[in-house]
Structure 1
Amino acid sequence: MASLSNCSSLRHGVSLWCPQSASLTRARTQVSPSIGFRSFRRSYVVASSAFANENREFVIVGGGNAAGYAARTFVEHGMADGRLCIVSKEVYAPYERPTLTKAYLFPLDKKPARLPGFHTCVGSGGERQTPEWYKEKGIEMFHGDPVTSIDIGKQTLTTNSGKILKYGSLVVATGCTASRLPEKIGGNLPGVHYIRDVADADALISSLEKSQKVVIVGGGYIGMEVAAAAVGWKLDTTIVFPENHLLQRLFTPSLAQRYEELYQENGVKFLKGASIKNIESGSDGHVAAVKLEDGSTIEADTVIIGIGAKPAVSSFESLGLNTTIGGIQVDGQFRTRIPGIFAIGDVAAFPLKIYDRMTRVEHVDHARKSAQHCVTALLSAQTHSYDYLPYFYSRVFEYEGSPRKVWWQFFGDNVGETVEVGNFDPKIATFWIDSGKLKGVLLESGSSEEFQLLPKLARSQPVVDKAKLQNASSVEEALEIARSSLKD
């Protein structure tokens, strides 16, 4: 469940990035660093004293990873008890959302993950923040009651139930919603599933228990992870997507081929370059087949749609916040153009300092780090800008009895030429080199020490000898060549 987006089309092959355009440059200048943050903070603390006992000096809107890590940071600064509340459409305390397309979908005999086992912040080795944790820390929680409107003049927000809350500082952490197929082509038929929360995953598990033939629409993270879980259920599984290969935003064609072969060895079928015309139902109204644009039909009793996600900004569109890049645009402290309102995680479009461009990242690592940076800046004298290094990973086939567990990590920017080293049995590495500099690196089945090297390489962007990398006889040798290029 991850992606990085800063434009609607990719102009560098499989690059995750788009070049900085004049329009983005203009949009970027609209995020003013001179918001008067410190003077405003003094004024709102005084103004909020009247309602501090109602836990509304600070309000977090949203209940995902970013909200959980933001709450922990408030606690670490001693500013949560009686001051912080969280308003969310989720009915659960914040949890590590990536689990939903991985271990949560395993069949019962393969020890699936369940709450409270993956509440934040266990994903980063922190304390498990169960509902009791929030109560003990004095954090008021409003579950299942999403925000419907905000009055920035009165500094109030209204929830779906009609509750009106006054805030001093507002942190928007609403994340994304799943992109859906239109209802007119069967996107909402019984048996068609999308995954963004626990309720979605529970509904899918209920279908998988009764399924024989599964069709997954989308060849990205969701498609790959759900397909791997479906293999654990021993189901007839087909992945359909319009691109030429899996995870086209990141994988090179040769790298994708390695993964596709692994999935095929596990019984997964692929239909590449295929588009959906409509999803058909049977006489009982339940999904029965997926019809493609070429006229062919695939039988299915469960269909999972994994075609991306959209920032959840509808409640904030009337505020005049800059959303030209998709999410809510912020500066290096995650401040929006409206004093006292911040945005973090998937929903935030922020300056990617290392590559000097605006972007939006849908990934748990960014959700965690942006939350920590934003709240620390809000509560302290921290003034340095967020300096994020893009990071993506996936873990699949991790259930008991799997012949091979897969875990890869990628750091940096996938631009330029690529060098692939290794035979995928079990290790492989791909290096992206642009103008002689190492820009990004992906490693499958590495050791902990090797994985720790990757961010150092991607952040340093050392000049590397491409010929030496190409001639490396093993992944270990290639990584050593790259390591030796780092400056001491």
Structure 2
Amino acid sequence: MSSSVLGSRRMASTIANSLSFKLGVPLRLHPHPTHTSASLGFTTFRRSYVVSSSAFANQNREYVIVGGGNAAGYAARTFVENGMADGRLAIVSKEAYAPYERPALTKAYLFPLDKKPARLPGFHTCVGSGGERQTPDWYKEKGIEMFYEDPVTNIDIEKQTLTTDSGKLLKYGSLIIATGCTASRLPEKIGGNLPGVHYIRDVADADALISSLEKAQKVVIVGGGYIGMEVAAAATGWKLDTTIIFPENHLMSRLFTPSLARRYEEFYKENGVKFLKGNSLKNIEAGSNGRVTHVKLEDGSSIEADAVIVGIGAKPAVGPFERVGLDSSVGGIQVDGLFRTSVPGIFAVGDVAAFPLKIYNRIARVEHVDHARRSAQHCIKALLTAQTHTYDYLPSFYSRVFEYEGSPRKIWWQFYGDNVGETVEVGNFDPKIATFWIDSGKLKGVLVESGSPEEFQLLPNIARSQPIVDKAKLQNASSVEEALAIVGSSL
């Protein structure tokens, strides 16, 4: 490599990576924040990535991505699109597989074999957004160096090196942390690690669960959120005795209203799923063979189970990167609107990033596939090009359940915006339903179940525009279509 080219790259890297910035850390920011002495100041200094060939087999790790999920896959694609991957990019992952679309693991991956389950390589990134399928061969063809099943165990910020579990020492110029989350686990002392107790975060977890479902008769699911709803729906495809237990009063308590949750619960019950609401797990018991046999609840009752699936949330996988700088309010690694951390040359994207949610003037950490994709793309474009506009994300969530072959009805809802304020519900769930969140006269959030493609496309426009709506008029709407037309006319 010539000295002139090398110098140009160093200069570009310095300009892109080492801009100083300040980021306020309160949960909610003022629309026009003033940075006080409490703000974190970030210094500027030159990063270098070239070391002697005697120290490393490959000198060209100008960019290193740590992680093997959606964010890593979409970041890799963006490097390729900008002509900066071949011989320059390495990906270090604890996974045995190339990056894939993780949401499949609690949906079609869990279907029985006779109901067309999803399998790799079918859902490698970036097929989830209609992009090219990035198989292991794709990374080879693009000149991207892959390190599988070798998680990073240590970082030396001053020397710009990573140490992996196998003892590899990797030099980086720019580092993108895309480690995502890990599943929250039950304590070992109450049976959280017994054979037959499952957590889902990767393909190996899902494979182990399928192995249990093939032999199981009675399944207990701990948690009434995303994981609980999606796994319970898949379990009905296996015709298993399925019970969901959770301490809240209704499903998806962080998003659904009690009325909306009741509609879903009724549908699940019609499909054979039982609910134990307002109850907490005390411990899980095993039989003489060491496998789970019962789940005991705080009220003293006991449920038979030969498979237990735990879905009680997730924690950002900050691992060895705590020194980079964590956010105390939402967890995760603190970044600015270009996903730069407090250390020049180090970035964080996806689930693990605590970023400024511009539309609502607060710091957020979003565990969602759409954010993983968009944040990765935004970060890499800012790193490699002259792009300087800050990330402007609109929160969105969705779920798809009961989609297996032979299901009496497929369920698919989408939500955009913020679930704050009063709610208006329109429709009866058969065939569709919508919930609108209104705060100070403005429409802040909207959820639609069983909408048409055109209706779903309207939702982000509504949530971003936050139109003033006539609540009484919305309440009197006779159908979801009429309600969306009322809101649409306010845009």
* TM-score where L is the length of structure 1: 0.92
Tell me which amino acid in the other structure corresponds to 1:406. Answer: I
Residue 303 of structure 1 deviates from its aligned partner by: 0.1
The sequence identity of aligned pairs, in percent, is 81
1:372-429 Cα deviation digits (max 9, x unpaired): 0000000011111000000000000001100000000000000000000001001000
Local SS of the residue matching 2:128: helix
1:58 pairs, out of 39, 63, 79, with 63
Q: Would the alpha carbon gap of residues 49 and 103 (structure 1) be closer, same or farther in structure 2, given more than 3 Å must change?
A: farther
Partner in structure 2 of residue 481 of structure 1: 486
Relative contact order, CA 8 A, sep 6+: which one is greater? 1
> Aligned partner of 1:392: which letter?
F
After TM superposition, the runs of 4+ consecutive aligned structure 1 residues lying more than 6 A away are 24-29, 48-52
Match status 1:20 vs 2:20: no
- Equivalences for residues 87-102 of structure 1 within 5 A: 87-102=92-107
Q: Is the 8 A contact 2:52 2:59 kept in 1?
A: no
Task: Report 1:289-328 matches (<5 A).
Answer: 289-322=294-327, 324-328=329-333
Partners of 1:322 and 1:105 lie apart in 2 by 35
Residue 186 of structure 2 aligns to which amino acid in structure 1?
L
- Give the letter aligned to residue 418 of structure 2: D
Q: 1:142 to 1:124 in 2, by over 3 A?
A: same
Cα drift, residue 432 of structure 1 = 0.3
Q: Where does residue 167 of structure 1 map in the other structure?
A: 172
SS of corresponding position for 2:215: coil
Instruction: Pick the aligned partner of 2:48 from 19, 44, 47.
Output: 44
Residue in 2 that maps onto 1:73: 78
Q: Do the aligned partners of 2:322 and 2:333 also contact (CA within 8 Å) in 1? A: no
Aligned match of 1:377 in 370, 382, 385? Answer: 382
> How does the TM-score come out when normalised to structure 2?
0.91
Residue identity matched to 1:95: Y
State the secondary structure of the residue aligned to 1:454.
helix
Q: Distance in 1 between matches of 2:296 and 2:37?
A: 43
Are positions 1:223 and 2:231 aligned together?
no
1:432 is aligned, of 429, 437, 446, to: 437
Deviations 1:118-163 (A, max 9, x none): 0000000000000000000000000000000000110000000100
Q: Distance in 2 between matches of 1:465 and 1:48?
A: 64
SS of the residue corresponding to residue 416 of structure 2 reads strand
Verify the 8 A CA contact 1:176 1:347 in the aligned structure 2: yes
What are the ranges of 5 or more consecutive residues in structure 2 without an aligned counterpart? 1-25
2:324·2:333 contact (CA, 8 Å) conserved in 1? Answer: no
CA contact (8 A) 1:28 1:358 kept: no
**Is the aligned partner of 1:253 residue 2:277?**
no
- Work out whether residues 321 and 328 of structure 1, in 8 Å CA contact, stay in contact via their aligned partners in 2: yes
Separation in 1 of the partners of 2:43 and 2:338?
Answer: 11
| Residue type of the alignment partner of 1:20 | R
Q: Aligned partners of 2:351 and 2:127: how far apart in 1?
A: 19
SS, match of residue 365 in structure 2: strand
State the AA in 1 paired with 2:459.
L
Amino acid paired to 1:213: K
* Correspondence for 1:367: 372
8 Å CA contact 1:94–1:120 kept in 2: the answer is yes
The alignment covers a number of residue pairs equal to 462
TM-aligned CA deviation for residue 283 of structure 1: 1.2
Contact 1:55/1:140, CA 8 A, preserved across alignment: no
Deviation (angstroms), 1:169: 0.3
Read off the aligned partner of 2:286 and give its amino acid letter: S
Distance in 1 separating the partners of 2:357 and 2:27: 12
Q: Does residue 418 of structure 2 align to residue 413 of structure 1?
A: yes
Q: Deviations over 1:47-100 (max 9, x none)?
A: 579779544100000100000000000000000000000001011000000000
Question: Which runs of 5 or more structure 1 residues have no equivalent in the other structure?
Answer: 1-17
CA contact (8 A) 2:325 2:333 kept: no
